Structure 1
């Protein structure tokens, strides 16, 4: 049974990694390969910006709608149906793969011109499937989000390397349509990547679903395999820890640690105090396992029909407010300036492309480092209330906002020395873009990884005086899972209740002999994680359209700098002008986001 569980965990980690790797393949097809699609569909090169903006905006809205629907499902689904979320995630992974077949047929078929409308709606459908899959994936496997988020930026690097190699190997090849085959092969690669992800996901989460059903059917027998992470302290150490906690904060004394946690390695199940004994470890572990099993069963029976609780949900969001806001800020503002303003508006196409590649590589580095930290169990997938130093990641918001401001200066103050330096020096522009990309990647990666684990069940802390070692009802090490386990558990829990009535029951470090009746529900983590991605993409879509409206306003005003609209305005009035105009034009663009006649709009 243990080997099967390890294999399932490996499949789930691999599936999360491949799902993240396949996630942005549709955007890479739409954006990175846009110049090749133009020639295939016979669209004039002067309309490349309209083509990219049209498809990108439509896909971002479709992604948001997919995330919205999936998040509503995750949050509002009754608890008794939540065990089927893994099966739903299998469906969304296969939907991502199947939508690429639609894109392939639209681009590769229909003679010399392809089918532009089908291609457009195929990419929009891929975006919708991507949004649903992203939200559900981050909800059903919150403990593996680092693998999911870490592999997302790899798609950009993979596509860039593929384009470089393909163009180099087929340069000057006679009677070979490079613009056609480069995108056909890219779509096929996306099908293979998403197909592998769907297969791994199916294997991992079907087995996981079977294990859940097994636990429900076997009841007490299945719960015997439950491991509980506990911390045993000597009574003198306990007194010292209580004193330290009281000195830190009186308010924290009311908070109690909870029973249960994820299964750990055997050597990490128990952390000893300086006077701990092997027999104490064995007996206390068995005692808490029995206690946890009965509590978990009662909790599951009561929560099986629970519906959405707004108060509980808001409490869960509040506990994760720091990482949620971190990822929202990082995701929300990125398309306001990147890549339309920085780097391409501030330099030529060749330099901008080189800087763009550097940015793609920069996105990857923090994500891979985060995977390594989480694998070593020192990453941000922990309780930030305990490991407070992860909140200091907010320091990266300072250069992040500073770089955004710097990108706007050359457009509005072209005569300033800084503006001239940004336009003339590729190293200066590259440094600012690198700083922006690094700050964005760190904030996004750490925020997404931490948001979904702030409501995890905490381990219980007991002292060696809480246990009666002379009690023979607790079985020996060899017989700890014997047939008499149920009787033993009942006897141990009666002793536990008598002990608590005397005031010497298990306590938390800041406790006063209190113990919550039930452990917290870990399913709240999935709801908070889905809400986090929904909020992040809501801000992304809003500011993406505001950025689009700003660029359209700026282009109209730059036609005649002598009639600059804010020349005689104060800073606040000019700021209000640009924000209002960007919002109006962005709202107009949002109203035109979807169309049934794509070619007519692109040929205007």
Structure 2
């Protein structure tokens, strides 16, 4: 009986791998719809182009905040309870499909200006679901975690190719309303991918998992009484590697490098990193298939500890990028800003190290004990989700603070400060600004929030009465100033 069960498991192995890969591609459509397609979405909702930055910033803050809330909520449940994770995951899989359908309908309906705030709240809901389902899925498919990691950079490549191909075809045939239909068909594809993922998931994994935390047919042999603190003690290094390495991804990328430093050439560098970023996870996937990957005990394979050097390289690259902004007269700064090829190399190296740290740490975290412990995968995910929101928020706050002073070098705020005091100034102000931005994560009027401004309407009345013999005492009685808030 058990032998036939094992044969059934082997028959579903390919389906489970495909389900894990497609699952990652599906959930990653949410941030790409919210951010990467932002410049197209604002055309549909009739938002002025100069408000693009505010729109994308709102989406980024909301997505990261509510994804983190979902990750932490489900991680806490997994650690202290962990029962019926399969049933929860299956319910959330239906929720993903339903929410993508709602997103499509919200985008399509609403007349000329559309339901912008409702669209924002649907993305907010999807962000929360994404955080919840990511943890449950990692718990179920810990044996195929490498396929999930590969799917993240592949999603970026797929979206980039889709945008380029769609724009080329649409312009070649001179079709109208390009931006509207680009996002519409991207949402249709997301709905289709969610439906296909749902079918593959139920064929490969079924509906539930055992109370031990592993799928009933996964057969990884994880014990039900594994000690969480013992497991953390054994897996602290890969978790720390992912937490710092992957968490720092958006500290300077892509806002400073490449966009701020490269200007108009930044988009080309960014597209390049989407392709080069897929090399580390794909390489490690191949190594795992031949038994040479990081999903082994590192105490017996010390080489994987050496991947911590990628985090050091990442920090050095970030320091160079920041120096390029703060000290434009330095030779290294002039080399970075004046040589696009050097900035190209450094940016690719930075993102490459990010992907290595994430892939190695995530693959190694659940296998450092005597048996595979899928709880360590959920702990790892919550750890780098927390550091991501911290580092990305500080990075956003830093850029906003920098932009206030970049055009006034004569009155540079830390001109007469020592290194420690200058570091404290930028860190404190970046943190203060980033905390204030979290207040914008929820709104009942997104259009008003990003387009609010005060305009002055002057109504001029002509007076044909001859007052030459008795001039008015006021300077200009024909002008009435009306302040109209939009």
TM-score range, shorter chain: 0.7 to 0.9
User: Which residue in 2 is equivalent to 1:293?
Assistant: none
Q: Equivalents in 1 of 2:209, 2:64: separation in Å?
A: 32
Matches within 5 A, 1:476-555: 525-555=373-403
By how many angstroms is 1:432 displaced? 0.5
Q: Equivalents in 1 of 2:175, 2:151: separation in Å?
A: 37
User: Which residue in 1 is equivalent to 2:235?
Assistant: 320
User: Which residue in 1 is equivalent to 2:183?
Assistant: 183
By how many angstroms is 1:262 displaced? 4.5
Q: Equivalents in 2 of 1:568, 1:445: separation in Å?
A: 43
8 Å CA contact retained: 1:23, 1:152: no
Is residue 436 of structure 2 the alignment partner of residue 580 of structure 1? Answer: no
Q: Equivalents in 1 of 2:186, 2:337: separation in Å?
A: 34
User: Which residue in 1 is equivalent to 2:203?
Assistant: 203
User: Which residue in 1 is equivalent to 2:473?
Assistant: none
8 Å CA contact retained: 1:87, 1:206: no
By how many angstroms is 1:551 displaced? 1.2
By how many angstroms is 1:429 displaced? 0.7
User: Could you say what the CA RMSD is over the residues aligned between the two structures, in angstroms?
Assistant: 2.3
Q: Equivalents in 2 of 1:334, 1:209: separation in Å?
A: 33
User: Which residue in 1 is equivalent to 2:263?
Assistant: 348
8 Å CA contact retained: 1:150, 1:370: no
User: Which residue in 1 is equivalent to 2:72?
Assistant: 68
By how many angstroms is 1:23 displaced? 2.3
By how many angstroms is 1:529 displaced? 1.2
User: Which residue in 2 is equivalent to 1:167?
Assistant: 167
User: Which residue in 2 is equivalent to 1:18?
Assistant: 22
Matches within 5 A, 1:154-553: 154-171=154-171, 173-174=173-174, 176-206=176-206, 209=209, 262=220, 312-349=227-264, 351-457=265-371, 525-553=373-401
CA displacement, residues 420-461 of structure 1 (integer Å, 9 cap, x when unaligned): 22222110110100110111111111101111122243xxxx
User: Which residue in 2 is equivalent to 1:33?
Assistant: 37
CA displacement, residues 513-564 of structure 1 (integer Å, 9 cap, x when unaligned): xxxxxxxxx5xx1222111111111111111111111111111112422211
Is residue 441 of structure 2 the alignment partner of residue 593 of structure 1? Answer: yes
| TM-score where L is the length of structure 1 | 0.71
CA displacement, residues 14-45 of structure 1 (integer Å, 9 cap, x when unaligned): 21111112121111111111111111111111
User: Which residue in 2 is equivalent to 1:122?
Assistant: 122
User: Which residue in 1 is equivalent to 2:11?
Assistant: 7
Secondary structure, aligned partner of 1:378: coil
Secondary structure, aligned partner of 1:592: helix
CA displacement, residues 383-412 of structure 1 (integer Å, 9 cap, x when unaligned): 112222211111212211111101101221
| TM-score where L is the length of structure 2 | 0.87
Secondary structure, aligned partner of 1:123: helix
Q: Equivalents in 1 of 2:315, 2:201: separation in Å?
A: 38
1:208 to 1:9, Cα distance in 2 relative to 1, 3 A = farther
8 Å CA contact retained: 1:90, 1:205: no
Matched residue pairs, number? 447
CA displacement, residues 176-235 of structure 1 (integer Å, 9 cap, x when unaligned): 2101100001111111122212211122221775999xx99xxxxx9xxx9xxxxxxxxx
Q: Equivalents in 1 of 2:421, 2:174: separation in Å?
A: 59
8 Å CA contact retained: 2:74, 2:136: yes
Secondary structure, aligned partner of 2:258: coil
Q: Which has the larger radius of gyration?
A: 1
User: Which residue in 2 is equivalent to 1:561?
Assistant: 409
Q: Equivalents in 1 of 2:73, 2:312: separation in Å?
A: 34
By how many angstroms is 1:175 displaced? 5.3
By how many angstroms is 1:87 displaced? 2.4
Q: Deviating runs (4+, > 3 A) in structure 1?
A: 172-175, 207-212
1:353 to 1:11, Cα distance in 2 relative to 1, 3 A = same
By how many angstroms is 1:582 displaced? 0.6
